[in-house]
């Protein structure tokens, strides 16, 4: 009977076999902790009815487990060396597909339409995103997934701990920023597990956290213009140490902003980080 390799040994073996190293320019750090992989897969709640889109699969550590659970896994990878390894490892799986591209340039809507729904090729029922995201591009990827209003059930991702704190905190708390409100607008976020830097090869300089974003079927607030809502939030947080009155004065005259805040019942000394998403929606709708 064969001896099962642990994830660290398996990762070292694959890297040696293919003569590959973690590429800094792609933000690669390979996950080597079996228990963290198990937590991610468990939190994703994947079934055979699901299409899973995995972003940046790397050596395929997560991919291997996802293929056992999902109806189909579409892996999006930008590194040609990793593509060769993934095709070698999983090319014989009939529920595996790989796309060589930058995820920010991929037409995810068409991919989902081709695989999910009664008229689709695979007739799967829903789509879930799972990823160990490169730190340098975490926020753009998550916001693209949400702002494109793709038909997603959930997004389960590993991100830098500090970013996870900002993405999952409640608006109005000390960790909140403009991104916090965007996440709350589209999803219900929660932390799954904190991951120490030692769980990676090579170890990054920071710790990580796995978070899950349950995509809301109905957006959390009603606004006349999403563009106006996010513009107000962005402007308010660009100068977060200023009062909301001063922060929003670049959008209109200070007198008009003061009049609006008083009519909506806000203290003129309030700062952006003290507002709820509903507060920002009221301001956007007023303006």
Q: How would you write the pLDDT of the chain (287 residues) with one tens digit per residue?
A: 455 678 899 999 998 998 888 777 777 788 999 999 999 999 999 999 999 999 999 999 999 999 999 999 999 999 999 999 999 999 999 999 999 999 999 999 999 999 998 888 888 999 999 998 888 889 999 999 999 999 999 999 999 999 999 999 988 787 888 999 999 999 999 999 999 999 998 888 899 999 999 999 999 899 999 999 999 999 999 877 788 999 889 888 999 999 999 999 988 999 988 899 999 999 999 98
Domain 7-215 has CATH 3.40.50.150: yes
CA atoms within 13 A on the CB side of 204: 26
CATH of domain 226-286: 1.10.8.100
Cβ contacts of residue 116 below 8 Å, gap of 6+? Answer: 51, 122, 124, 125, 126, 127, 151
DSSP string, 195-263: E-GGGEES--SS-EEEEEEEE-SS-SS--S-HHHHHHHHHHHHHTTTSBHHHHGGGTS-HHHHHHHHHH
The residue extents of the domains of the chain are 7-215, 226-286
Cβ contacts of residue 282 below 8 Å, gap of 6+? Answer: 264
């Amino acid at each position: 009977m064969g001896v099962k390799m642990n994830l660290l040994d398996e990762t070292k073996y694959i890297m040696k076999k293919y003569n590959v190293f973690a590429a800094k320019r792609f933000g690669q750090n390979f996950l080597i902790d079996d228990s963290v992989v198990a937590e991610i897969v468990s939190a994703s709640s994947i079934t055979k009815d699901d299409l899973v889109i995995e972003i940046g699969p790397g050596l395929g550590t997560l991919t291997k487990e996802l293929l056992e659970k999902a109806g189909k896994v579409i892996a999006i990878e930008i590194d040609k060396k990793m593509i060769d390894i993934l095709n070698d490892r999983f090319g014989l799986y009939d529920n595996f597909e790989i796309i060589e591209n930058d995820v920010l340039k991929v037409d995810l809507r068409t991919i989902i339409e081709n695989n999910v729904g009664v008229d689709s090729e695979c007739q799967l029922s829903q789509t879930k995103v799972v990823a160990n995201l490169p730190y340098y591009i975490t926020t753009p990827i998550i916001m693209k997934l949400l702002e494109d209003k793709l038909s997603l059930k959930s997004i389960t991702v590993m991100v830098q701990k500090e970013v996870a704190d900002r993405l999952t905190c409640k608006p109005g708390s000390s960790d909140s920023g403009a991104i916090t409100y965007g996440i709350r607008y589209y999803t219900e976020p929660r932390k799954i597990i904190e991951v120490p830097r030692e769980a990676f090869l090579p170890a990054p300089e920071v710790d990580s956290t796995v978070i899950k974003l349950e995509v809301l079927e109905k957006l959390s607030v009603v606004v006349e213009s999403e563009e106006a809502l996010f513009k107000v939030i962005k402007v308010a947080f660009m100068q977060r140490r200023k009062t909301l009155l001063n922060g929003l004065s670049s959008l209109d005259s200070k007198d008009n902003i003061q009049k609006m805040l008083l009519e909506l019942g806000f203290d003129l000394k309030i700062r952006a980080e003290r507002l709820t998403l509903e507060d920002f929606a009221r301001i956007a709708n007023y303006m």
